[in-house]
Structures are given as structure tokens and as C-alpha cells.
Amino acid sequence: MFKVYAIDGIVPVVHPSAYVHPTAVLIGDVIVGPGVYIGPLASLRGDFGRIELKEGSNVQDTCVIHGVGGNDTIVEIDGHIGHGAVLHGCTIERNAMVGMNAVVMDQAVIGHSSIVAAMAFVKTGLAVPPRSLVVGAPARILRELSDAEVANKAFGTRQYQMLTRRCLQTMQAVDPLTSVEPGRARLTPELVSPSA
């Protein structure tokens, strides 16, 4: 079971269809919606303000999300937060993605179906229009995304939604094998990728 802590009498809420990895930590005013995936070593600290992950969103391994007073930290439906990203008092709108090791600061809003590139630093209060590619540190809006880029992002999010179901159904703690068994199974595209 993952680590859940109440603070000031406020207890995290996790929908039964969400998957939270056992090494993740949820503190205080955290609301995890249906079908959400939270990966290994993610830290969601709702000790200053509310954090809300809406249906089908994902927060990957080693992400840090910190709620701040005065505004909620929200990942809307189908939001996609890449490995090691940091969110602080911001809003990630529907179907938007924050790339690996990117940082999104207080009161920034990432518009729907936008992509924040890996390693970008989105400064306080930046409002990113829908379907935008955001790059750099400090982040700047580079261009509008193509239909193919938006579709590719959506496919990646569906993979994580499928991973949520796979984890709920099959993930378990085990002891490692001491050698590779003959005919070892592989993760096939049919197993890990949703149909288009």
C-alpha cells in the first residue's frame, strides 16, 4: 500500500479505479480521480493547498506536485505528467503534457492539448494557449502543435491509462529470479499499447 498521510484532519482521496504505486506518497488535500496512474516515488504534497488529478491523468515516477495556498494545483482529464516533472500551484488543462524534468510554477496555466518540452521551466503566471509547444528555460511558446503531434500525445496517455488497468490487475511484489528462465516472456506491443 502506498503511503498516505492526513494533515490538519484532511485525508487524501483515491478513487478505487486509480493506481498509486506503493512507493508514492500522498499528503493532505490530494484528490485522485478515476483511472489515474501515479508512478513510483511520486510525491504529492497537499499540505499547503489542494492537488487534484482528474480522470485518466497520469503522474509518472519521481514527479513532485506541491499544492500552494490561494490556488489549487490541477491536472485535468487526460493530463500527462512525465518522469521527474515538478508542478507547483499550476493548472495543466485537458489532454496537455508536461515533459520529463520540466517545472511548471505557481499560477501558470498550460492550455488544453499543449506540450511542455522536457527540461522546460514555465515561470509563474505564464498562460499557454491551447495546442502550443512550449520549450526552454525560461519557457517560451515555440509554435502551434500539429494534429499528428496532438494525436501522438493522446496515444501516450492512453498507454498510461492501459498501464493503470494492468497494474491493478497484475502488479505484485515478488522475489527476483536468480537466472533468466527459458522462453522468458516479453512485453509485446499488443500487451502495452492500446488500439489506435
Residue type, 118: A
Region 163-178: mean pLDDT is 90
pLDDT for 118-161, tens place per residue? 999 999 999 999 999 999 999 999 999 999 999 999 999 999 99
Q: Looking at domain 13-147, does it have CATH number 1.10.760.10?
A: no
Instruction: Please report the pLDDT score of residue 191 as a whole number.
Output: 81
What pTM was computed for the model? 0.93
What are the structural domain ranges in the chain?
13-147
Instruction: Please report the pLDDT score of residue 196 as a whole number.
Output: 56
CA distance to 108, 136, 178, per residue, from 38 (Å): 22, 26, 29
Fill in the DSSP letter of residue 3: E
CA 119, 189, 58, 26 torsion-angle sign: negative
- Phi, psi at 191, each rounded to 5°: -80, -35
